[in-house]
Structure 1
Amino acid sequence: MQGAASSIDPAEVAKFEAMAAEWWDPNGKFKPLHMLNPCRLDYITTQIAAQFGRDLKVPRPFEGLRILDIGCGGGLLSEPMARLGATVVGADAAERNIPVARLHAEQSGLEIDYRHCAAEDLAAAGERFDVVLAMEIIEHVAVPQDFVNTCAGLLKSGGLMLCSTLNRNAKSYMIAIVGAEQIMRWLPKGTHEWSKFITPDELYGLIRASGLDPVDRKGMVFNPLAWRWSISDRDLSVNYVTASVKR
């Protein structure tokens, strides 16, 4: 079901189709996401808890919340959200990702509604969510403003959109393209196009134009000595994440 899928870039979908079977291999083609996942989950859970007044110390703090993970891949974010009690819809335009995600959720004893569709399809069907996760996806869509507009339309009043991407500058080119793809070979060459990276101010502009209010942005910084990622209030030079609210 992809009749309204104007934001989909077929070439980008094909890249991730080719890597679908490796989603849950921590040393495979998605190794960078496995390394980044604890950091981005920390940001996601903190923002959701703050927006909806939830206590992260209780067993299922997100009970009653409906969360959309758009561009869900194999479910690296969908599964933790389900474990925290949320009702989760995971959507992906790459068809081969969905069976991988479904199988892993079943093996993990989790109920997650995985769908092969685009954000536009969900919006056309009248779906609404408390939280929309658009993590590491906007740099792969055809028209970023259209994509953000669709995400905004999928939110309930008072809903929260969390969107992460890559900044566009010389440093991000050296780290994300030259370093990650060409030297470290953490990702296949051509996974990212530097020209599609978006600066934080540009993303804030897209968010405001969609009718949402940006409320926070942070950097996600990799420390090669400690070999881990952390959240930064100041360094948004490469990876960063934003939070915005539908008033």
Structure 2
Amino acid sequence: MTAATALPDEIAKFDALAARWWDPNGPMAPLHRMNPLRCRWVASRLAAAHGRAGTDLGGLSILDVGCGAGLASEGLARCGAQVTGLDAAGGALAVARAHAEAEGLSIGYREGRPEDLAAEGARFDAVVALEVIEHVADRAAFLAALAALLKPGGMLFLSTLNRTPRAFLLAKVGAEYLLRLLPRGTHDWRMFVTPAELGTEARRAGLRVCDIAGMVPVLGGREWRESRDVAVNYIAAARKD
């Protein structure tokens, strides 16, 4: 494995959580609570880009990069999309396949990296990479690979953490050490990405950021809502022109 977009230590870290990925009260609890907002945000904007109302993604092809055990993949498949999930963590993918089958969902899961899939000539209406870019070895190479996987006019959706003092206190110290919402070592604050950095690096990959929103917890963290506050968690959409 080369280190173009995949860090072996990061892969192993999330693969170790595979068995508890679908436990809504387990180590992935924050993602479970955030996932409805993420999927709704992605689906509504992608549907609108194709002249559709609501979250109708019927027939559209989506690649979920860094899919883990399939939280977002299943959410988008329920909107009618033809979803392919891609991850380098084989254990998580085994859990994803079993869970999708039990739910009666047809999702194609593949083990590998986005640059490998791009080299095969695969192209999609949309690519999503949610809470992934802050874990990759080379953001420029990662974004270039994601851009290559898009059809002309296709859309890329990314969610990540802003590199701010507040994000360090809340998403790193608070979530991992004080509240223990996430396993210690889940994040490296130095790898968090500012919206300005993301916009610049996306442009270099041939993508134009067209929408961005903050994501903030409410009701004691049991739910998440869209916000103008991007100081900690945020989600962005970019188009391949």
The TM-score normalised by the length of structure 2 is 0.96
Out of 154, 159, 162, the position equivalent to 2:149 is: 154
* Deviation string, structure 1 residues 130-151 (Cα, Å, up to 9, x no partner): 0000110000000011101110
What is the rounded CA distance, in whole Å, between the counterparts of 2:183 and 2:107 in structure 1?
29
Asked if residue 198 in structure 1 is aligned to residue 190 in structure 2, the reply is no
Structure 1 window deviating more from structure 2 (223-232 vs 118-127): it is 223-232
Q: Work out whether 1:83 is the aligned partner of 2:66.
A: no
Whether the aligned pair in 1 keeps the contact of 2:37 and 2:224 (CA below 8 Å) is yes
Which residue number in structure 1 is paired with residue 161 of structure 2? 166
Out of 42, 46, 49, the position equivalent to 2:47 is 49
1:227 deviates by 4.0
- Give the C-alpha shift of residue 64 in structure 1: 1.8
Report if aligned partners of 1:212, 1:244 keep a CA contact under 8 Å in 2: yes
SS at 1:243 equivalent:
strand
1:120 corresponds in structure 2 to 115
User: 1:216 deviation in Å?
Assistant: 0.7
AA of the residue aligned to 1:46: S
Contact 1:163 1:243 in 2 (8 A): yes
Match in the other structure for 1:31: 29
Which position in structure 1 is the counterpart of 2:12? 14
Aligned to 1:242: 236
Contact kept? 2:36, 2:75, Cα under 8 Å: no
1:224, CA displacement in angstroms? 5.0
Structure 1 residue corresponding to 2:62, chosen from 53, 67, 75? 67
Task: Determine which of 93, 104, 107 is the counterpart of 2:88.
Answer: 93
Q: How many positions carry a matched residue from both structures?
A: 241
Change (3 A) 1:226 1:34: closer
Inter-partner Cα distance in structure 2 for 1:84 and 1:42: 9
Helix, strand or coil: the match of 1:77? helix
What secondary structure, in the 3-state scheme, does the structure 1 residue paired with 2:129 have? strand
What percentage of residue pairs aligned between the two structures are identical? 49
Partner amino acid for 1:98? L
Kindly report the root-mean-square deviation, in angstroms, between the aligned alpha carbons of the 2 structures.
1.4
Q: Could you tell me which amino acid in structure 2 is paired with residue 240 of structure 1?
A: Y
Query: Structure 2: how far apart are the matches of 1:120 and 1:148?
Result: 10
Shift of 1:86: 1.2
Which amino acid in structure 2 is aligned with residue 239 of structure 1? Answer: N
Counterpart check, 1:134 vs 2:132: no
Shift of 1:83: 1.8
Return the offset for 1:226. 7.1
Q: How big is the shift at 1:51? A: 1.1
Q: SS of the counterpart of 1:72?
A: coil
CA separation of 1:34/1:225 partners in 2, compared to 1, >3 Å: closer, same or farther? Answer: closer
Shift of 1:225: 4.6
Looking at structure 2, the residues matched to 77 and 246 of structure 1 have their Cα atoms a distance apart, in angstroms, of 22
For residues 219 and 71 of structure 1, what CA distance do their matches in structure 2 show?
A: 21
Aligned AA (1:21): A
- 8 Å CA contact retained: 2:130, 2:160: yes
